[in-house]
Amino acid sequence: MQKILKWILFGLILASMVFVHVQYSFKLYDAVPLHGDVREVSKPVFSWKDWFAGDYQYQAEKFTNDSFGFRSTFVRINNQMLFSWFNTARAHGVVIGKDNYLYEKNYLTAWNGEDFIGKDSILSVVKKVRYIQDTLKKLNKDILLVFAPGKGAFFPEFMPEKYKKPLNPRNHDVYVKYADSLGINYIDFWTWFRQNKSTSKYPLYTKYGVHWSTYGKDLAFDSIVHYIEKKRHIDIPDFLWNRIEESTDCREVDCDLLEGMNLLYDLPQVMHAYPDLGVNYINKVQPCVLTIADSHYWGIFGPGLAQKAFDNPLFYYYYNELLNTTHAGLQKQNVNLRAEIGNHDVIMIMATDATLSNFGWGFIQDAYTLYGGKN
């Protein structure tokens, strides 16, 4: 009997190996692809040079490990077991909070001040912004700082206990304090979102997403447009809030953390809100806006909101890659900064609290130096 069981087990193992190979070769089963930062490995091209150097074998092994049959399904099964049995997320930087609220760790350290860079460092940055603001004003241009909300700040009640205790002042609080005292143009959505959390009809942040909700970022961008209108005394195209659809189906970035966890089964969904925004262009002015921002601006730029309000807007992603309306990228070393600033009416720098420790990502220093600022 024991011998028969061994042969049965051997047969099952052999059959599974054959089944995996058949799936790889013929794609009999349409497996759900993995989400997130998944980089496909190309099949290596054989050459004797790479063979004798060992490079071909290394690349072939990587390709096989990343492309065998049912790989995405096996990854999801593994991730599901870790999540269900050990409350662990197999996604970079993801922290599971109470009631399965999902966070990225840098939003939690932004909340408790672990990433605080010091008051002197922040004051130095804000003084440079003031110099840039005064210089651009003489050229009939404006600079605007936008402090986007952070999920740790919005949902502190669901974060793990070890992140709740404040360790230092928060970068956000000090930035706002100095921006106020030095007369900087800014919008503080970090505070506004927290103040309106309980009164907002629709979620401003979602349970399974790391960015502001679709409804929240639409609301915020509408406010940004009105702020620029008042600052520049112009009439920008109006957003018409035709209707708001309520749905438990996640769209855009409302469940980006959950999707990146690549679980076998979805978690229970909650209600989300999706505005249907029309635009009134009649007798309106579309200013040229250059935005330096982190990933929070993708929700505005990616779906085309910025393109509806601004004239050919540019998105300088982390001040590293300059993106236009077709998302064609231009690397920093190939950008003429003076020309780009000169071609725009408004320079907007947007950051959530998780990225304030490197606010501007070098743009503020470069613009300060460009216009003759002395360190």
Q: Is residue 227 part of a domain?
A: yes
State residue 95's pLDDT score.
96
Q: Is residue 321 part of a domain?
A: yes
Query: Is pLDDT above 80 for 301?
Result: yes
Count: domains in the chain? 1
Q: Is residue 51 part of a domain?
A: no
Q: Is residue 111 part of a domain?
A: yes
Q: Is residue 27 part of a domain?
A: no
List CB contacts of 283: < 8 A, sequence separation 6 or more: 235
* Confidence category of residue 36, pLDDT binned at 50, 70, 90: low
Query: Is pLDDT above 80 for 46?
Result: no
pLDDT digits (tens, 9 = 90+) for 143-173: 999 999 999 999 999 999 999 998 999 999 9
pTM for the full model? 0.87
Percent of the chain's residues with pLDDT above 90: 69
Query: Is pLDDT above 80 for 20?
Result: no
Distances in whole angstroms, Cα of residue 283 to Cα of each of 231, 237, 238, 280, 286: 18, 8, 11, 9, 10
State residue 176's pLDDT score.
98
Q: What's the mean pLDDT in 98-104?
A: 96
State residue 353's pLDDT score.
97
Query: Is pLDDT above 70 for 66?
Result: no
Q: Is residue 182 part of a domain?
A: yes
State residue 24's pLDDT score.
53
* Confidence category of residue 91, pLDDT binned at 50, 70, 90: confident
The 3-state secondary structure of 3-58 reads HHHHHHHHHHHHHHHHHHHHHHHHCCCCCCCCCCCCCCCCCCCCCHHHHHHCHHHH
Q: Is residue 3 part of a domain?
A: no
State residue 17's pLDDT score.
57
Q: Is residue 269 part of a domain?
A: yes
Measured between alpha carbons, how far is 101 from 217 in angstroms, rounded to an integer? 20
**Domain ranges, residue 222:** 98-370
Low-confidence winner among 21-30, 259-268, 343-352 (lowest mean pLDDT)? 21-30
